[in-house]
Amino acid sequence: MAPPRTYRCESIILSYTPLDEADLLVTMYTRDRGKVRAIGKGARRATSKLMGHLEPLTVVQMSMANGRSMDIISQAEVLQSFSELKGDLDGISKGLYLAELVDGFGAEDSPNPNLYQLMIDTLTVLQADTESDMPLRFFEFHLLQVSGLMPELYHCVECRIELEPDAHRFSPNVGGTLCLECNPEDAHLRPLSLRALKVLRLLDRSGIAAASKLTMDDSLASELKSLLSTTVSYWLGKEIRSNSFLERLHKDSLPEVYK
């Protein structure tokens, strides 16, 4: 029998499921191979050399061997553990939200190094400030962009006229912004304020560091959050499960009178 083929890849761990015999089924997103699912043999035993290297939100240099049905993790070297992010409940819940989206948008055998880099960059910025929600908005917007689903922000998607600086409407279904004249039958159609359009255009043009410094009032923040997470969830084809824990933490942090 030929020896198993081995390969190395830089990965970020997204999640794992415990299997029999202290094994783990690990889902990771790799820089060069897209999403990969692989087995960590005996990884939950205290004596395992994989122990602690396979926690979600850890950047790992993986050595893998091709197995019969699934690849086997033979070695894992931690490159970045994001330990400050993981020492904070908001940091963990935001990081896991990103992980769920990368799992949903990333595909096996379909490398997307831009998506990989977006995840790393967003975790890095989140680690410096776990309270801000702007890194999540930047991530959602650019997740659409690197997935080829970038919403149109400059012309009406129906009649193609250039949009005036005005309130418009938005729908993930038709691919972005609509002028007030065009009225396609569309259940996803929603109003879009001029302020929100401006922030979307800014997210388009700026890097994550600048975008994350943006501050806004609650009503604009919640318009953007709702618009982007609805769009992401529309393309995902299902509800984003980790969103409910994020919202729970947000609600818990409000003063009693707002609950």
Asked whether position 152 contacts Zn ion by CB under 5 A, the answer is: no
Q: Please give the sequence-ordered ranges of beta strands (E in DSSP) within the chain, or none if there are none.
A: 6-18, 24-30, 34-40, 59-65, 71-80, 168-171, 176-178, 190-192
Percentages helix, strand, coil for the chain (3-state, rounded to 5) are: 40, 25, 35
Residue with smaller CB distance to other proteins, 99 or 232 = 99
Query: Could you tell me if 99 and 15 are in contact, meaning their C-beta atoms sit under 8 angstroms apart?
Result: yes
In whole angstroms, the minimum distance from the beta carbon of 255 to other proteins comes to 15
The partner residues of 10 in beta bridges, in order of sequence, read: 61
With binding defined as CB under 5 A, does residue 182 bind Zn ion? yes
Q: How far apart are CA 98 and CA 100, in angstroms?
A: 5
Q: Which residues ranging from 77 to 96 are in contact with other proteins (CB under 8 A)?
A: 86, 88-89, 92-93, 96
| Residue 13 CA: distances (Å) to CA of 63, 126, 152, 172 | 14, 17, 32, 29
Contacting other proteins (CB under 8 A), which of 100, 121, 152, 204? 100
Write the interaction track for other proteins spanning residues 125-144; mark x where CB under 8 A is met and - where it is not: --------------------
Binding site for other proteins (CB under 8 A): 15, 18-20, 22, 43-46, 50-57, 86, 88-89, 92-93, 96-97, 99-100, 103, 241-242, 244-246, 248, 252
Instruction: Give me the residues that bind Zn ion (CB under 5 A), please.
Output: 156, 158-159, 179, 182
